[in-house]
Amino acid sequence: MNPMTTCSIDNPYSPTASADPTQPDPEELMSRDEIEALQVERLKWTLHNAYENVPAYRELYDEHGVHPSQFQELSDLSKFPYTDKEFLRNAYPFKSFAVPMSEIRRVHASSGTTGLPTVVGYTQDDLDTWASLVARCFRFSGVEPGQKIHNAYGYGLFTGGLGAHYGGEKLGCAVIPMSGGQTDKQVQLIRDFEPDAILATPTYLLAIADGFRKAGVDPRDTSLKRAVLGAEPWTDEMRREIERTFDITACDIYGLSEVMGPGVAGESAVTRDGSHIWEDHFRPEIIDPFDDRVCDLGEPGELVFTSLTKQALPIIRYRTHDLTRLLPGTDRPGHRRMGRITGRSDDMIILRGVNLFPTQIEELALNLPSLSPHFTLEIDRPNRMDQMTIHIERREDATREEAIEDGKKLLSEIKTKIGSSALIDIAEPETLARSSGKIRRVYDHRNK
């Protein structure tokens, strides 16, 4: 169904409610060839819809001398220029919408670090698709219809809260819309309502664990069996930490507002080997962020997305700034899998010419028994030399001396594995700030 009559070709997609929520959607089980054939058909519509209904796309393509009719096969996608946050910001607030405002049923926005928020909009079909894909992710990660889900993603303009909420309901779960923050209340409600699954950022789930300990409850004794975590980069070391702390199974969920919100990709509870991208709705590419070349399967680079079915806000070759790689699908062989996100290219720290990401520090620190996952990185430039200080809490059950020893080991590992020198400050347990959503790891004072 196509609610707009303004596109010269019909939208080949109409969202359907899966008859049995415990079973995979038919598109999930398509072969690679079937997925790619579907992508060609859906891409034709997307390109036409964007060109005919969003002046910014028309201008961009006219400027580059390309037209949607030049897209006939997947390799033709590379003829079309990339877009980025700037492209959407220039269309602030609603000029990137391909449908009249009367067709829009929801607006979200992501704040970003500077300037205007990026505004995104959804038609009713877009919202139905989104809920179905989030439900698909939850089911894939082992959540079952009839279960209770505690949703600690923030509600509001952020897509995490409402996106996860409607996905949980779509799967047939009872969703507890707790939102982020009020950690004491989170603890109380988890104890009283006995949810089976929890949704949160990985770092906020650790703050909830602190809350349990403060209440004199071992987090392993809760009703929780599954966690579906995302919205910020996290490592397999962090997964182990969370799984041990709560005695649960933790899976990844990935997404970004511009492309939809949570649910662009989700992780199998069976293979637990990175999120599968739902390629019946999104065509991913990896590009070299420096020369814009499209990379091969397995090569690391920047993730770029094209939406295939979105009506309100078509996204074409959108540069996410997320650094990862594409891998063949495993539990869903027709869909590509993504490696863990190392970080965002704009969060990369360049320290005396060496590039590093907070996830590298997380990975190394969590392999040392007396260091906790709670850390921040502070960067200064005294005497015109970059200097990074790692503030990291010792674990409650480790002595200060043990943590100082492990701190020294951490610095030497950073030196040999990353190539940077740093300073370390061992902080006492529960002295560093906790996040109630996405954590801020890096405090860079160099440009002040």
Rounded to 5°, angle at Cα 319 from 316 and 325:
110
- The reply on whether position 232 binds ligand DLL by CB under 6 A is yes
Smallest gap from residue 17 Cβ to ligand DLL (A): 23
Q: Which of 84, 251, 254 is CA-nearest to residue 159?
A: 254
| By CB under 6 A, residue 159 contacts ligand DLL | yes
Can residue 167 be called a binding residue for ligand DLL (CB under 6 A)? no
In the range 291-330, which residues lie near ligand DLL by CB under 6 A?
320, 322
Region of 125-133, 227-235, 361-369, 379-387 interacting with ligand DLL (CB under 6 A)? 227-235
Shortest distance, CB of residue 338 to ligand DLL, whole angstroms? Answer: 9
Give the integer Cα–Cα distance in Å for 384 and 264: 43
Q: Cis peptide leading into 195, omega within 30 of 0?
A: no
What's the CA gap between 105 and 125, in Å, rounded?
9
Q: Which of 43, 98, 253, 323 binds ligand DLL (CB under 6 A)?
A: 253
Bridge partners of residue 29, in order along the sequence: none
Shortest gap between Cβ of 322 and ligand DLL (angstroms)? Answer: 5
Shortest Cβ 389–ligand DLL spacing (Å): 24
The reply on whether position 233 binds ligand DLL by CB under 6 A is: yes
Instruction: Break the chain down into helix, strand, coil percent, rounded to 5.
Output: 35, 25, 40
CB-based contact 288:295 (threshold 8 Å): yes
For residue 109, the minimal CB distance to ligand DLL (Å) is: 9
> Which range in 237-245, 246-254, 387-395, 406-414 contacts ligand DLL by CB under 6 A?
246-254
Neighbours of 445 (CB within 10 A): 11
DSSP string covering 80-112 = SPPB-HHHHHTTTTTTT-SS-GGG--EEEEE--
Size of site (CB under 6 A) for ligand DLL: 21
- Residues between 367 and 426 that touch ligand DLL (CB under 6 A): none
319 versus 374: smaller Cβ distance to ligand DLL? 319
- Closest separation in Å from C-beta 156 to ligand DLL: 11
Whether 131 and 170 have beta carbons less than 8 Å apart is answered as yes
Query: Which one of 153, 166, 305, 375 is in contact with ligand DLL (CB under 6 A)?
Result: 153
Q: Of 179-187, 252-260, 287-295, 425-433, which segment contacts ligand DLL by CB under 6 A?
A: 252-260
Task: Decide: is 341 part of the binding site for ligand DLL (CB under 6 A).
Answer: yes
Residues 236, 241, 247, 248, CA torsion sign? negative
Does 257 bind ligand DLL (CB under 6 A)? Our answer is yes
Q: What is the rounded CA–CA span in Å between residue 118 and residue 256?
A: 11
- Contact criterion met (CB below 8 Å) for 105 and 127: yes
390 versus 439: smaller Cβ distance to ligand DLL: 439
Q: Which is nearer to ligand DLL, 110 or 124 (CB)?
A: 110
Asked if 254 interacts with ligand DLL (CB under 6 A), we say yes
Pick the closer one to ligand DLL by CB: 265 or 426: 265
Taking CB atoms, the residue at the shortest distance from ligand DLL is 230
- 8 A C-beta contact, residue 180 and residue 153: yes
Q: Report which of 375, 429, 433, 395 is spatially closest to residue 181, judged by C-alpha positions.
A: 433
Closest distance to ligand DLL from the beta carbon of 359 (Å):
9
DSSP label at 286? E
Instruction: Tell me if 231 contacts ligand DLL by CB under 6 A.
Output: yes
User: How many residues comprise the chain?
Assistant: 448
What DSSP character marks residue 145?
Answer: T
**What residues line the site for ligand DLL (CB under 6 A)?**
110, 153, 158-160, 230-233, 252-257, 261-262, 320, 322, 341, 344
